[in-house]
Structure 1
Amino acid sequence: MGLRQLRIFTEVYQEKSITKAADKLHIVQPSVSLAIKELEEEYGIKLFDRIGRGIFVTETGEAFYEYASHIISLYDEMENKMKSPSAPFQINMGSSITIGCFIVPHIVARFRDIYKNGEINVRIQNSKQIVQGVMKNEIDIGVVEDRVEDDKLISIPFLKDQLLFVCNNSNQLTKKNKIELEDIARQPLFMREPGSASREIADGLFKANQIKINIAWESISNQSIIHALKENEGITVISHKLVEKEIAEGSLYVLPLYPEEFKREFILIYHRNKYLTPAIKSLIGLICEEKKESRHIKTDFLNL
């Protein structure tokens, strides 16, 4: 196995086509096919299924890609560092949508103040997509909502969070002193998309209690949900950090029901095999400092 074969494999994986991979690498198709065949024969595995004119990565191929992408990334990083020690560098950071709204912007700004010759590329997606990006080495470090159970990843909790049931002030449930989960389920729910951490937690809570729900609004945007909730009857599940302003000004109301599952932590993740450059270590340090700064956030209105 050589680095050339790994580069060819990762290109085929990303393009999902031998023809497109060959064009991108400026080599002939038989050379691409041969490189894939050599890898499969060397390890006695099947990397792709050939069905009709298409190719589809196998489960083994998915695992192989994780290792191959890390090897290539580490080699390229070594080459750049050894040949040009002071050359500009780039860090690919991934963030869940909620964390990306109120934490990531000032972390990136602080990092850029420290490292003038570096750049951070930020990808904002739901937590599930960020985890996948870290696993495939498309993302150097990620910040997600709630723990990730995978021994290939290093997980560092850095900030506590509280999910809330929230509605507008005209909702009939605001007049009740005691709220049950069944009361919530009878209302239209305004929810994030499947794969987001808050959605996974909420779905798990209702499923565990064998309660059916009515999802009337589904969006990848927290702000879209907040605006819709102000104008319509319904309930959402959302981080308290995203609605502090609306609750303080009285446009949204926190329903007094705080399931234990709604207490969670924001987690920093990176691949166990990831080489941490001094710049990446510095970025990790800035993220972990959020725990100290968050002590000043007021949460009195939650009555926890």
Structure 2
Amino acid sequence: MKYSFRQLEVFLATAHHENITRAAESLAMSQSAASGALKELEQQFGIRLFDRVGKRLQLNELGRLMRPRAQALLEQGRDLEGALARHADVGQLKVGATLSIGNYLAVGIMARFMREQPGAKVSLEVANTETIARKVANFELDLGLIEGEIQQPDLESLPWREDELRVFCAPEHPLASRKQLSDRDLLEATWILREPGSGTRQTFDRALHGLVPQLHVLLELQHTEAIKRAVETGLGIGCLSQVTLQDAIARGSLVALEVPHRDFQRRFDLILHRQKYRSAGIERWLALCQEV
């Protein structure tokens, strides 16, 4: 072969950092060694993979085309290397999850995964749907568990489980005694909501189409627990996944409000890059998710 895995590592690290010095540091290499490896890779094939603008190295069209193929090839090589060295079959797994999933579902799956695979190393990043999708597309995460819709052709969405948002308030709130809420009630209420870009907010906006521009939104917060606390203090009403509200409603610290004429149904999905190599760890994680 005219290329080495080390050259591919330098190429991918440079694509990620857009700087040869930071790429070299991430690979524990000297700058000159990393620069030489990248230069040699390009010279061997008579190509350019980056547009050089000052100190910044930005992927050109060919580089963007080669990146996912190089990533998949490198991961297959690492998987084979691990198997040949008789290390753990699973290795390291980088999982991303949206807040509702990460805080209430993913940790349980991760615990079961690690019990089954004692040598495995699993990292869990919790962020909103937009961030998780971007990092999976950029190969910064191996897979994602999301609660919103995505429009990225490079990503594959696998249906996981059904979910539903619930409108809720504090027990002392004037709406707590209502059997059902009308659109007028929704418009007159003060809202504490998730931020734009989150899957929860995406579903909420879709469910309340025609009303959203007129709603009185007092706060937009990134964390479900912060929203629940704000609602408990009487600042307004909220709307979150039923998964996040079960314990609080059972305790009586929050009250579920019925809005039967609005559709709050949604789905949780698993996402992967279409050219992502599915290692033994990824396949086992997917299987565990379907078993939950």
Q: Identify the residue that residue 90 of structure 1 maps to in structure 2.
A: 92
Aligned to 1:298: none
Cα displacement string for residues 90-142 of structure 1 (whole angstroms, at most 9, x for unaligned residues): 22222111111222222222222222222222222222222222222222222
Q: Is the 8 A contact 1:134 1:270 kept in 2?
A: yes
Gapped runs of 5+ residues in structure 2?
none
1:25 counterpart (22, 29, 38) = 29
Partners in 2 of 1:289 and 1:158 — Cα distance? 10
- Indicate the percent of aligned positions where both proteins have the same amino acid: 23
Counterpart selection for 2:233 from 222, 231, 234? 231
Residue 242 of structure 1: aligned partner:
244
Change (3 A) 1:275 1:64: closer
Structure 2 Cα separation of the partners of residues 54 and 117 of structure 1: 38
Distance of 2:41 and 2:88 partners within structure 1: 36
Q: How does 1:59-74 map to 2 (within 5 A)?
A: 64-74=66-76
Bigger drift between 154-163 and 250-259 goes to 250-259
Q: Secondary structure at the residue paired with 1:288?
A: helix
Offset, 1:35: 5.7
Q: CA deviation at 1:208?
A: 5.0
The Cα of 1:76 is off from its aligned counterpart by 2.1
100, 103, 108: which one pairs with 1:101?
103
Q: Give the distance between the partners of 2:42 and 2:108, measured in 1 at CA.
A: 48
How much has 1:263 moved relative to structure 2?
0.4
User: 2:275 aligned with 1:270, yes or no?
Assistant: no
In structure 2, the residue matched to 1:164 is 166
The structure-2 alpha-carbon separation of the partners of 1:241 and 1:154, relative to structure 1 and needing over 3 Å to count, comes to same
1:152/1:258 Cα in 2 relative to 1: closer, same or farther (>3 Å)? farther
**Counterparts in 2 of 1:116-265, with a 5 A limit?**
116-206=118-208, 208-209=210-211, 211-258=213-260, 261-265=263-267
Q: Does structure 1 retain, via aligned residues, the 8 Å contact 2:7–2:38?
A: no
Structure 1 partner of 2:39: 34
8 Å Cα contact 2:89-2:280 kept in structure 1: no
| Offset, 1:238 | 0.1
Cα RMSD for the two superposed structures: 3.2
The AA in structure 1 aligned to 2:174 is: Q
| Residues 161, 268 of structure 2: 8 Å contact kept | yes
Which 10-residue stretch deviates more, 276-285 or 208-217? 208-217
Displacement after TM superposition at 1:165 (Å): 1.5
**Partner secondary structure for residue 254 of structure 1:** strand
**Counterpart residue number, 1:8:** 10
Residue 181 of structure 2 aligns with an amino acid whose one-letter code is I
Compute the displacement of 1:221 (Å).
1.4
| 1:235 to partner: Cα distance | 1.8
SS in 1 for 2:197: coil
- For 2:65 and 2:217, locate their aligned partners in 1 and report how far apart those are by CA, in whole Å: 35
- The 3-state SS of whatever aligns with 1:154 is strand
- Any conservation in 2 of the 1:187–1:214 contact (CA below 8 Å)? yes
**CA distance in structure 1 between the aligned counterparts of 2:52 and 2:125, rounded to whole angstroms:** 30
C-alpha spacing 1:55/1:184, structure 2 compared with 1 (3 Å): farther
Contact 1:70 1:137 in 2 (8 A): no
SS in 1 for 2:181: coil
The one-letter code sitting in structure 1 at the alignment partner of 2:165 is L
Equivalences, count = 287
Q: Is the Cα–Cα contact under 8 Å of residues 90 and 279 in structure 2 kept in the other structure?
A: no
Q: Is the 8 A contact 1:167 1:233 kept in 2?
A: no
Q: Match for 1:161: what amino acid?
A: D
* Secondary structure of the structure 2 residue equivalent to 1:42: coil
Q: Secondary structure at the match of 1:123?
A: strand
Shift of the alpha carbon at 1:270?
2.2
Quick one: distance in 1 between partners of 2:215 and 2:62?
38
Which runs of 5 or more residues in structure 1 are unaligned? 291-304
> Which segment is superposed worse, 247-256 or 172-181?
172-181
State the TM-score, normalizing by the size of structure 1: 0.79
1:22 and 1:119 map into 2 onto residues whose CA distance is 24
